[in-house]
A and B are shown apart, each in its own frame.
Chain A
Amino acid sequence: VTDRVVVTGCGAVSAFGLGMAALWRGLCAGHGAVRPLTVFTPQPGEVTIGAELSSFDAREQLGEAAARTLDRFAAFAVIAAREAVRDAGLQHGVIDRRRAGVSIGSALGGLSALAQMPVTRPVRAHPLTIPRSMHNAATARVSMDHGYRGPALCHATACASGAHAIGEAAEAIRAGRADVMLAGGSDAPLTPEVLGPWQALRLLAPPDPEEVAFSSRAFSAERKGFVMGEGAAVVVLESEAHARQRGARARVELAGYGASADALDLTQPSLDGPVQAIEAALAQARLAPVEIAYVNAHGTGTQANDRIESAAIRRVFLRHADALAVSATKPMHGHAMGASPALELVATVRAMEESLVPPTIGWRRRDPDCDLDYVPNEARAMAVPAALSHAFAFGGLNAVLALRRLA
C-alpha cells in the first residue's frame, strides 16, 4: 500500500494581507482585493489596477540583511513558508532535515529585480542582480531558513508553477525521496516593466467603470480578462505515516496530481490538454468524477480560458458537471502568476474544512459557452468531500491537483 500524502500546514501572503486567515476571510467576503495600484505611480497608458499587498516592508518582516538580498517574490515565499511550518507544528520536535525538502515554483522569479537594471550601455549591473532575480532564490532561501537539506526544486511553468511545484513535491514523497516538502508558488509581478508586456498581450481587464474591485468577471458573458495580483502560498506536504508519527494533524489528503501539455500553441488553450490533466489527477486519487463536489477553476476571466475550461469540465464530468460547484478566486486575489495555483489550493483546503465554497465575484450574465454553476458572487455553504484545483498555463502546460477530505 502506497503511503498517502497529506497537507499538514498552510501559509499565504496575498493582497488580503499576511496569513492564510486574511486570505480566507477575504475570499469569503466576496469583494476582492483589486484596487488602484499604489506600489508605483502609473504613467499614462500603463496598467492602473492590481491586487497588491500594500505597505509591505520586507525589512520589517525579515530584517535588514534578508531584505537587501531578496526580491519581493522570494520575501513573500519565506513569510508564507514560515507560517506553513508553524501551522504544521514543525518548529517543535525533531525531524530528519535531510528528508525534508522545498519546492517553490515561480512564473517570473525576480524579473522585477532584473528589470531595475539600467538599459544604458555599457551595462553596469548591481552585484545582487542575479541572486535576487534567479527563479530558485525563493526555494533556496526557504531551505536555508529551515535547514531543510532534502530535494530542493523550482518549477517555472508560468501560471501553473505553483501547481507543478506542489504536485511534483507530492511525487517526491510518494517516491520515498522525502518525508516532508514545503511546496507552493510565489510571484511579485506588480511593476511597470512586468505589467507592460502582459498588457501587450491584451489579456488584462481594464478598470471596471462602476466598481474597480469587480474588474475581472470570470465566466461571465462580459468578461474582459484578468487583473494581475501578487503573493505566495506554501503548504506542508507530508507522508501520512510521518505526520502520524509526530502526532501532526492532517488538514486534507493531497490525493492526486495530473500534468499534461497541449503541445499545440504558446498562448491559445486547447481542450485535450486540460482534459488529460484532470483525468490523470482523478485516476491517481482513485476518485470517480461524481465524488468531486467543488472545482477551484483556473478561471482567468479571459474569453478563451473560461470557454475552454468549461468545455473541459463538461467533457470529463458529463452530467455530473451540472451538480459541480465551480468557482474562480482569481478575480478576488488577482492573478498572482505562479503563486495563483498555490493560493487557490490553500483556498480549496479551507473550503473543504469549513464546508464553505468561495464565490466567483463580478459574475453578471450567463455566457452560452460557460454554462456551469460558478457560485456567482456569494460564498456557498456546502460539504466538499473531494475537490480539484486547476492550473492551465501559457505554453499549454497543465497541472491539476485533487484533494480528499480525511475521515
Chain B
Amino acid sequence: MSDEVERQVLEAIALQTGLAVSDIGRTATLTDLGLSSMDALGLLFTFEEQLAVRVPDALIPRMRTVGELIAGLREVLADKERATTGEAP
C-alpha cells in the first residue's frame, strides 16, 4: 500500500511538472519542482480523492518536500486503516 502511495505521488507530480519520475528527488520541495502553492493544494486534493482520506490542516506545514508529502499521506492512510479496523493507536 505504501509503495502505491509513493507511485501515485510521483506520477501525479511528473504529470504536472513534465519531469520524469526518476528525476523527482525526495528532498525537493514542490516549489523547487516549479509548482505553485495552488498547484500543491490541487495535488493534495487529488491524493485525498484517490486515497479517500482527508489530510488535517495541521499536517500540511510538515508536507513541504516530496518525501514529507509521501510520509504524510502514509500517516493519514495508516490512521484511517487503524480507525476502520478498530485497532488502538
Chain A residues in contact with chain B, CB under 8 A?
A: 64-65, 68-69, 126-128, 131
Contact = CB atoms under 8 A, between A and B. Distances in A.
Nearest to A131: B38
B31 interface: no
B25 to A, nearest CB: 21
B38 to A, nearest CB: 6
Contacts of A128: 38, 41-42
Interface string B12-46: 00001010000000000000000010110110110
Classify the secondary structure of B's interface with A: helix
Contacts of B42: 68, 126-128
Given A126-B45, A127-B41, A128-B41, 6 more contacts: A65-B16, A65-B36, A68-B16, A68-B39, A69-B36, A127-B38
A126 B41 CA distance: 9
B41 A64 contact: no
Contacts of A65: 16, 36, 39
A140 to B, nearest CB: 13
Contacts of B39: 65, 68-69
Interface in B37-73: 38-39, 41-42, 44-45
Contacts of B16: 64-65, 68
Contacts of A69: 36, 38-39
A68 B18 CA distance: 14
Residue of B16, B38, B44 most packed against chain A (CB within 10 A):
B38
Contacts of B41: 127-128
A69 B42 CA distance: 10
Contacts of B18: 64
A127 B49 CA distance: 12
Nearest to A69: B38
A64 B16 CA distance: 8
B13 to A, nearest CB: 13
Nearest to B43: A127
A69 B38 CA distance: 8
B60 to A, nearest CB: 11
Contacts of A64: 16, 18
A404 to B, nearest CB: 44
A322 B89 CA distance: 85
Residue of A64, A65, A68 most packed against chain B (CB within 10 A):
A65
A94 to B, nearest CB: 28
Contacts of A68: 16, 39, 42
Nearest to A132: B38
16 contacts: A64-B16, A64-B18, A65-B36, A68-B16, A68-B39, A68-B42, A69-B36, A69-B38, A126-B42, A126-B45, A127-B41, A127-B42, A127-B44, A128-B38, A128-B42, A131-B38
